[in-house]
């Protein structure tokens, strides 16, 4: 007696496909192809993160081998469901979550595990998802905090930030705690820009804002990027994010699920079905 699965080919109706095994196999092949594509594309990137494994609790990994890169002058978006690990990835790159394996490289120099203040000095800026301003301090004092490692540059950098956010300059003596959500977001971005970063990591800058203010934030992010600052932006507002970014990543369960240009991702039927349907229509 013969076993159909062993004897027949794929076209043979007797061929029995172990669908789970085939799926796993395809997944592995896909992962290898994705890694190869990342490795060649990330060469010479301004900032790159390779095969990042990280988590908060011992023995529990939140990131399971994420790859990310951003070229000089690029605007890169990261989207994905709640809990996918988007914030964790930014925090890991910025030295706020311990990286268990993998590497982060800035302009060819390893920066894996360096502390946040060291990274700020090296040109990495970070705006966290929450609690990103000092509410008891004025706008001006918040901006000073962003420059505590180079206070002498205040006048020059304040002028730059005021050019991007004129409303902040006009109200520089106002406490950040009395500002609207949108204005606070501008203060937070302004603070991160004070050290003249070459790359800015933004975690959900439009979260919790009205649609009009969301538009303003996206406009500002583009403006910041146009001044030459590379940007990595995590966003729940997936469609808008993909509209403005050069390239995007879809993160799911701590892994890269899809990566392509913003426009290609926004039109990819799989991405639409899996990630844009609910994410995109929820805001
Ligand atoms: N400080 C923490 N301690 C322990 N677990 C955490 C901590 N922060 C996040 N996590 C867990 O890590 C996982 C990923 O969280 P993360 O905040 O990175 O997701 P996210 O993609 O940014 O989600 P969201 O869209 O809701 O912001 C979640 O399961 C979350 O519960
Ligand atoms: Mg998050």
**CATH code where residue 161 lies:** 3.40.50.300
CA of 183 to the centre of ligand 2 (A): 20
Instruction: Evaluate whether residue 216 is within a structural domain.
Output: yes
Query: Would you place residue 281 in the very low, low, confident or very high pLDDT band (cuts 50, 70, 90)?
Result: very low
For residue 219 the two structure tokens come to 């406009």
DSSP lists the bridge partners of residue 200 as 125, 231
Mean predicted confidence (pLDDT) in 216-230: 95
Query: Would you place residue 208 in the very low, low, confident or very high pLDDT band (cuts 50, 70, 90)?
Result: confident
Which ligand is closest to the CA of 62, given by its number?
Answer: 1
pLDDT of residue 224: 96
Decide: pTM greater than 0.85: yes
Query: Would you place residue 6 in the very low, low, confident or very high pLDDT band (cuts 50, 70, 90)?
Result: very low
Instruction: Evaluate whether residue 4 is within a structural domain.
Output: no
- The helix (run of H) or strand (run of E) holding residue 176 is none
Instruction: Evaluate whether residue 5 is within a structural domain.
Output: no
User: Which residue lies with its CA nearest to atom 2 of ligand 1?
Assistant: 56
Of the candidate ranges 24-38, 108-122, 184-198, 228-242, the one whose mean pLDDT is the lowest? 24-38
User: Which residue lies with its CA nearest to atom 31 of ligand 1?
Assistant: 83
User: Which residue lies with its CA nearest to atom 24 of ligand 1?
Assistant: 82
Half-sphere exposure of 261 (CA within 13 A, CB side): 4
Q: Residue 10 pLDDT more than 50?
A: no
Nearest atom in ligand 1 to the alpha carbon of residue 85 is 18
Number of helices (H) and strands (E) in the chain: give both, helices first.
Answer: 13, 10
Domain that holds residue 184: 73-95+112-281
User: Which residue lies with its CA nearest to atom 5 of ligand 1?
Assistant: 56
Q: Note whether 262 and 94 are within 8 A (CB).
A: no
Which ligand is closest to the CA of 84, given by its number?
Answer: 1
Domain count, the chain: 1
């Amino acid at each position: 007696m013969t076993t159909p699965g062993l004897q027949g080919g794929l076209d043979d109706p007797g061929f029995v496909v172990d669908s789970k095994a085939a799926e796993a196999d395809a997944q592995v092949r896909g992962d290898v192809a994705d890694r190869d594509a990342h490795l060649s594309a990330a060469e010479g990137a301004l900032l790159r993160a390779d095969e990042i494994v990280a988590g908060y609790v011992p023995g529990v990994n939140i990131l399971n081998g994420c790859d990310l890169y951003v070229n000089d002058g690029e605007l890169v978006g990261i989207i994905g469901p709640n809990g996918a690990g988007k914030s964790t990835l930014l925090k890991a790159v910025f030295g706020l979550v311990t990286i268990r394996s993998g590497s982060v490289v800035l302009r060819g120099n390893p920066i894996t595990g360096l502390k946040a203040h060291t990274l700020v000095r090296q040109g990495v800026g970070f705006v966290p998802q929450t609690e990103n301003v000092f509410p008891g301090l004025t706008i001006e004092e918040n901006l000073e905090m962003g420059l505590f490692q180079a206070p002498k540059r205040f006048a020059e950098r304040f002028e730059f930030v005021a050019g991007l956010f004129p409303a902040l300059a006009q109200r520089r003596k106002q406490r950040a705690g009395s500002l609207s959500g949108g204005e606070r977001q501008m203060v937070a971005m302004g603070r991160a820009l004070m050290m003249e970063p070459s790359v800015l990591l933004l975690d959900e800058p439009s979260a919790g804002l009205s649609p009009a203010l969301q538009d303003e934030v996206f406009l500002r992010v583009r403006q910041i990027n146009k001044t030459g600052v590379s940007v990595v932006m995590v966003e729940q507002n997936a469609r808008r994010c993909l509209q403005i970014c050069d390239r995007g990543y879809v993160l799911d369960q701590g892994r890269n699920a899809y990566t392509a240009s913003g426009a290609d991702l926004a039109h990819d039927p799989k991405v639409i079905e899996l990630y844009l349907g609910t994410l995109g229509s929820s805001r």
